[in-house]
A and B are shown apart, each in its own frame.
Chain A
């Protein structure tokens, strides 16, 4: 079962920042937070991941709270092409665990 809780849907105006929250209150010390997204009829696409420090790449920023019980994915300037389902996933640092997906958040970017 997924270890994360996300809102089922969100809207964002084009050009504005999209802030997608995720709760993972039972996360353990050796678990990473991963974010993937899935555009309609495509396979999931990796966005970013982090352990405890904030992370940024060319796609997004990931802000993890100090207690690591929640995080926020930030798309700084959302475009229509960012409309997708965004999945927040907790995964152990080592070992052989596959990604476990929940239902994610359906982000609609509106012109």
Chain B
């Protein structure tokens, strides 16, 4: 399968712990996006990369959140000192330039 891959699919963590999610985009795609989705809401944009450069960050991305895409291929999203409000589905998408974006299945985070 050459679609967008996210790992893990599910993560349960205790409040205050750090978590890291990985996204592997479609191989030739130079743009990579992270979104967060809570129950009953549409996905909310967090940040995006063009190659290894992080071009835009939403105000939703607090100081506890950091994203990287070190070699312009896979990306990681880290949340430090997790809070219950961080519980959500974290979605990754990739695209070739401004063309249509392809989404992964998401990582569901539960903070207990």
Contact = CB atoms under 8 A, between A and B. Distances in A.
Interface stretch (A42-50, A61-69, A73-81): A42-50
A29 interface: no
Interface of B: 4, 33, 35, 40-45, 48, 50, 55-56, 91, 93, 98, 100-106
A100 B4 CA distance: 19
Output the residue of A45, A98, A101 with the most chain B CB within 10 A.
A98
A101 B50 contact: no
Given A34-B100, A49-B100, A98-B33, A44 B91 contact: yes
Contacts of A2: 42
Nearest to A34: B100
B56 A43 contact: no
Contacts of A103: 40-42
Given A46-B100, A95-B98, 13 more contacts: A34-B100, A43-B4, A43-B105, A43-B106, A49-B100, A85-B42, A99-B43, A99-B45, A99-B93, A99-B101, A101-B42, A101-B43, A104-B42
